[in-house]
Amino acid sequence: MTVRRVRAWMFQALMILSLAISMGALVWLLVGTFVKGLPALDMKLFTNPPSSVPEEAGARPAILATLYIAVLVLLFSLPIGVATAIYLEEYARKERWYNRFLEVNIQNLAAVPAIVYGILGLAFIVRGIGVGRVLLAGGLILTLVVLPTVIISAREALRAVPDSIREGGYALGATRWQVISRQVLPASIPGIATGSILALSRALGETAPLLLIGALTYVAFDPTILGPFTALPVQIYTWVKLPDAGFQQLAAAAIIVLLAIVLGMNAVAIFLRSRFRQKW
Amino acid sequence: MPHHRVIAWHIDNLDNQGDGNQMRIFSERRTAGVAAVVVIAAVGVLASVAVAAPPALDKLRGSVTADGSSTLGPYMTAAAELFSRAGAKDVRITVGISGTGGGFERFCKGETDLSDASRPMKNKEAVICKTNNIGSWRAFTVANDALTVIVNQDNTWAKCLSVEELSKIWDTGSKVGNWKDVRAGFPDQKIKLFGPGTDSGTFDYFTEKINGKAKRSRSDYAASEDDNVLVQGVSGEKGGLGYLGYSYYEANQSKLNAVSIKNPKTGECVAPSVATAQNGTYKPLARSLFVYAKGASFKRPEVQGFLRYIFDHEVAIAKRAKFISLTPAQLKKSRINFDLAVKASAK
Amino acid sequence: MAPPPSGAIAGGAPFSLRSSHRHYGEKVIQILLGSCALVSVVTTLGIVVSLVFPALEFFAEVSPVDFFTGTVWAPLFDPASFGVVPLLVGTLSVTFWALLVAIPLGLGSAIYLSEYATSRRRVVLKPMLEILAGIPTVVYGYFALTAVTPLLRQIGIQVEIFNVIAGGLVMGVMLIPTIASLSEDAMAAVPQGLRDGAYALGADKLQVSTRVIVPAAMSGIIASFVLGVSRAIGETLIVLIAVGQQAKLTFNPLESIETMTAFIGATGNGDLPTGSTEYKTIFAVGLTLFVITLVMNIISIRLVRKYREVYD
């Protein structure tokens, strides 16, 4: 009996330990970066363009571009993602082969490495349809990267709305679209918002596909949608690679900004989820 | 500043003898084909070309896209910064670092105005440029570099190496793993090799000059795009040996020793320095860095203005970016070349 | 406490029975929605086309046998060699170390969250764990290079500045939430009746967890591992920054190697003339990467479906 209790206790301790190690790594990462980056975190980072001299360098064009990309990704991925989710959840008949294919296809896309999207972006968006190496191309590629995630989370949110609500609507003579647009969709907004914000935060931290479409560029002016750009994570990558200690510090400072944006969005999403969690 | 023999040296560097390819093509007639036109020969005669007064910097508007060599990246960035500060605030300059080849690839698709190169354009690339009909283009020499061979500070023996000895170490299939195999009398010490990434112009240039052919190299060494890693690697290994651009050596002089290179013609050991790179005695690892300009872009005042700024302030730009500046004679030739291009584009 | 059921119906607009063109409108809407769904199909097609055609050109120049069995990867050297095995081994090696961290820690966290933690604790701990999933990979790369590698050297492990172990361990941390969250979902899907039955037979939490819950959720747990593997294989920035770019055929975790993704990332913005065989290697390696992750994912989908079928 005691042996059993000791084993049970040890097992529980191990479980807690594994969680503690994960948290410890998180704390180490955050604290380490803050300690290193805080001295370089000043207004200069937000107002100055990048420079070959670390004391003068900032990340203004990169920060702005990342915010623009956020808006673009949201504008593209939310309507397409939600529409796809509605189609799959509310309209598609599961027994049709093409609907099953759609579903598997989206699951597969969610697992395609981001860098492969970079190759796609280079071949089709930048060269194929001739958008060029501009901010819009970056926004489009990152939209494709996160679209599967948006679709999957929107579907989950729609699925969480119980059928009784739909049936109630139909019983009153509403069409399918009336039921969806006036009942199902409003009820699933918190879930869709949570999933979309998480997907968006992933898009903003994504670097690899942007490397392939030439975002590794010195851009000293405020970006435009159809102009050349560099994004915050790419700027960080650029600085990490430079030998000068001053740039290493700048990289840490820029990481703090990126983490503030990305983790801030995560926090909003998690808050939304817990605030509006509905039990039907 | 010593600058004798510069012209000879300069031409020597541009003349890509290795595979007989030429890179300097500037032809108003598209039918001229790929046959190289070495403009330099004519330069001496046309030493004085009258040019109309350029527009003031703050009147310039528009954008300039440059891409290419990562070695030249810091130089072009510094040039863009100083240009903007000098008043050209409304000219939007972007500097990409796709690498020399990547830069030419985009240049020959007509995507960029300027292509930064740490080696001359290859024949193959010129053919692509012609096929894509991007029109004429012109090359300018903008800075010098002395590829520097570095060793650990505890390395007391390798003060000077010859091209043959370097080749013995670096050539394809080389099995040299110990300093005692490099030269009789060197100590029994394992060699640990560090070099730049295979997609850099530095790698191309070193392998061509040392092993006789670009990209001909053993592959079992620590390759890194990050020059900082080469510095750390060589300074941390007693038997370490590597090569990188002069500006990185200069920034890390306290941690590394530079090896002198035996000049194949004079047999003298020459250390890499600003002076030896400029006077042409540091052979064969001194090289020029180029900027290629598309003819159509050159007609635009902002592109022209940016290049003019570079030649007007070459020394200041080189200093800011920690590069070896052009010699007065090289600069003069680049300026003449530039003025010729201005004249040609005005037609 | 969960908020009370919200009055979605009460809050909605009253239904109207008008609309004479209802069916016509419905059809239009369905077609619109369906065409949005097609975007994902077009994306897949785009990926396949952009990878397959250059890769076919590549395989016309380099025999697939040489590519998949060659042990020297030196596409940019002269003479060039296109054996992809060192990149595959490099990818495997990093993945191995990542999973060595992520599987036990992720599974441990999942069991704790699902079987041990009170619901109040779970509400706090799960989001914290999810923060790990939200951190951009460029940050993990920086962390591996500037914090983990120096620490390893300090404690006497003689690693090269770029090395497999630091990148692998950090990638493992990145994967913990993926594995923990999917495994927890699978465990939560195990019907309460199984737990109650086991407890009724006198089992303790350890026994319930390890002999009832984990086996019952096994296919979902394995699916989470497979997804973790696929993430590890596809991760680019951590390996690009911290693991290096030296394609060496070695399993030594203290040395620098090159993975498939690092090759694409470093070469994709590098010094390569288009149309050259070297340039097409990006696509050949990209296709290899795509196929591997695709197979992984199909396995994972099958496994997830299997456990869903059992308890639905």
Domains in chain B (CATH in brackets) are 6-144+288-346 (3.40.190.10), 148-271 (3.40.190.10)
Q: Is the pLDDT of residue C18 over 70?
A: no
Nearest to B248 among A51, A218, A243 (CB): A243
**Tens digit of pLDDT for each residue in C105-131?**
999 999 999 989 888 888 888 888 888
DSSP string computed for A2-14: HHHHHHHHHHHHH
Residue for token pair 């709305």: A161
**Is the ipTM beyond the 0.95 threshold?**
no
Nearest CA-CA partner of B257 in B235, B225, B274, B239: B235
Nearest to A106 among C40, C51, C138 (CB): C40
B111–A51 CB contact, under 8 Å = no
Domains in chain C (CATH in brackets) are 81-311 (1.10.3720.10)
Give me the pLDDT at residue C311, please.
53
End-to-end CA distance of chain B: 38
Give me the pLDDT at residue A217, please.
80
**Tens digit of pLDDT for each residue in C244-258?**
888 889 999 998 899
The CA distance from C82 to C280, in Å, is 11
The CA distance from A219 to B77, in Å, is 9
C129–A204 CB contact, under 8 Å = no
**Tens digit of pLDDT for each residue in B117-168?**
988 888 888 998 898 888 889 999 999 999 999 999 999 999 999 999 999 9
Q: Is the pLDDT of residue B272 over 80?
A: yes
Which parts of chain B fold into alpha helices (H)? 6-14, 40-43, 73-85, 100-107, 123-131, 163-170, 201-211, 227-236, 246-251, 274-279, 295-298, 301-312, 314-320, 328-346
Report chain B residues touching chain A, CB-CB < 8 A.
63, 65, 67, 73-74, 76-78, 80-81, 84, 92-98, 106, 111, 225-228, 231, 248, 251-252, 320-321
Region C280-286: mean pLDDT is 92
**Tens digit of pLDDT for each residue in C140-164?**
999 999 999 999 999 988 888 889 9
A43-276 belongs to which homologous superfamily? MetI-like (1.10.3720.10)
Give me the pLDDT at residue B335, please.
92
Which residues, other chains included, contact A182 with Cβ-Cβ below 8 Å and sequence gap of 6+? Answer: A169, A174, C12, C13, C15
Is B212 or B227 the better-scoring residue by pLDDT?
B212
C282–A216 CB contact, under 8 Å = no
Give me the pLDDT at residue C98, please.
97
Mark which residues 113-172 of A lie under 8 Å from C by CB.
113-120, 122-124, 144, 147-148, 151, 161, 165, 168-169, 172
Report chain C's mean pLDDT, rounded to a whole number: 86
The CA distance from C106 to A53, in Å, is 43
End-to-end CA distance of chain C: 27
Region C196-212: mean pLDDT is 91
Chain C residue numbers with beta carbons less than 8 Å from the beta carbon of A212 are 264-265, 268-269
Give me the pLDDT at residue B8, please.
32
Per-residue tokens: A267: 């926090």
Which parts of C5-84 fold into alpha helices (H)? 8-11, 22-61, 64-69
Q: From the CA of B344, how many Å to the nearest CA of chain C?
A: 29
Give me the pLDDT at residue C14, please.
53
**Tens digit of pLDDT for each residue in B281-313?**
998 999 999 999 998 898 899 999 999 999 999
Is C305 or C94 the better-scoring residue by pLDDT?
C94
Count other Cβ atoms within 10 Å, centred on residue B113.
25
Q: Provide the b/e sequence for C265-281 (b: ≥16 CB within 10 Å).
A: bbbbbbbbbbebbbbbb
**What's the Cα-to-Cα distance from A144 to each of A150, A223, B181, C231, rounded to whole Å?**
10, 21, 55, 17
**Tens digit of pLDDT for each residue in B79-115?**
999 999 998 889 999 998 877 877 888 899 888 999 9
Region B224-228: mean pLDDT is 70
Candidates C23, C57, C131, partner chain A, best to mutate (most A CBs within 10 A):
C131
Strand order in the sheet with B286-294: A217-219, B91-96, B62-68, B114-117, B286-294, B137-146
Give me the pLDDT at residue C245, please.
80
Which residues, other chains included, contact A245 with Cβ-Cβ below 8 Å and sequence gap of 6+? Answer: none
Give me the pLDDT at residue C273, please.
58
Region B202-231: mean pLDDT is 84
Cis-peptide, bond into residue A113, ω within 30° of zero: no
Is C157 or C276 the better-scoring residue by pLDDT?
C157
pLDDT band at B223 (very low <50, low <70, confident <90, very high): confident
If you ran DSSP here, which 8-state letter would residue B285 be given? T
Region A140-161: mean pLDDT is 94
pLDDT band at B7 (very low <50, low <70, confident <90, very high): very low
Report chain B's mean pLDDT, rounded to a whole number: 82
Q: Is the pLDDT of residue C179 over 70?
A: yes
pLDDT band at C76 (very low <50, low <70, confident <90, very high): confident
Candidates A218, A234, A235, A244, partner chain B, best to mutate (most B CBs within 10 A):
A218
Nearest CA-CA partner of B33 in B25, B43, B41, B45: B25
A113–C293 CB contact, under 8 Å = yes
Q: Is the pLDDT of residue B40 over 60?
A: no
Length of chain C: 312
